[in-house]
């Protein structure tokens, strides 16, 4: 029996309400998981390349929430913060490059729909 599980099966309503009222590591992780899934859904389904980029930003934010949550609740060191800052830096670089590529693609194809762009040059 794993006693550190946040919620055991068959717990009472009072226990669950107590769990809800004390946000901790699991709460942040669950939010991050949902945010990650939403981002992946955007990446997989949207046709517009810029919407795909927005999905990537959601995924990166979910990863950052995880870094900071573990930094706060488990290790107690600031290494997670430094990683989060590097993720933000790379996200900025990625957004700039990706937007430049999207603008170029728009010039060449008059469209930024990822399912219509199937050639490297026209």
Partner 1 sequence: MTMDLFTLAFYLFALITLVSAAVVVFSKNIIYSAFALLFTFFGVAGLYVLMMADFVAIAQLMIYVGGILVLLLFGVMLTTNVISVDIRTGTIQTLPAVLVVSALAGILVGVFWTTDWKVSPSATGFEKTAPRIGELLLSNYLLPFEVASVVLLVALVGAALVARREKKVS
Residues 44-103 within binding reach of partner 1 (CB under 8 A): 44-48, 50-51, 53-55, 57-58, 61, 64-65, 68-69, 71-76, 78-79, 81-82, 84-86, 88-97, 99-103
If binding means CB under 8 A, how many residues of this protein chain bind partner 1?
80
Length of the chain: 122
Instruction: Work out how close the CB of 103 gets to partner 1 at its nearest, in angstroms, rounded to a whole number.
Output: 5
| DSSP character string of 47-114 | -BHHHHHHHHHHHHHHHHHHHHHHIIIII-SSHHHHHHHHHHHHHHHHHHHHHHHHHHHHHHHS--BT
- 2 part of the interface to partner 1, by CB under 8 A: yes
Give yes or no for residue 11 binding partner 1 (CB under 8 A).
Answer: no
Least distance (Å) from partner 1 to the CB of residue 74?
A: 5
How far apart, in whole angstroms, are the C-alpha atoms of residue 45 and residue 51? 9
Instruction: Tell me: does residue 26 bind partner 1 (CB under 8 A).
Output: yes
Taking the complex as a whole, how short is the minimal distance between the CB of residue 4 and partner 1, in angstroms? 5
Output DSSP code: residue 115. Answer: T
């Amino acid at each position: 029996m794993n006693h550190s599980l946040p919620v055991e099966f068959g717990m009472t309503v009072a226990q669950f309400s107590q769990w809800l009222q004390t946000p901790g590591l699991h709460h942040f992780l669950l939010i991050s998981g949902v945010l990650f899934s939403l981002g992946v859904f955007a990446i997989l389904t949207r046709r517009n390349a810029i919407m795909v980029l927005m999905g990537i930003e959601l995924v990166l934010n979910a990863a950052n929430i995880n870094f900071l949550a573990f930094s706060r609740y488990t290790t107690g060191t600031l290494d997670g913060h430094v990683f989060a800052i590097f993720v933000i830096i790379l996200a900025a670089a990625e957004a700039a490059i990706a937007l430049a590529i999207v603008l170029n693609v728009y010039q060449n194809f008059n469209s930024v729909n990822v399912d219509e762009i199937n050639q490297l040059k026209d």
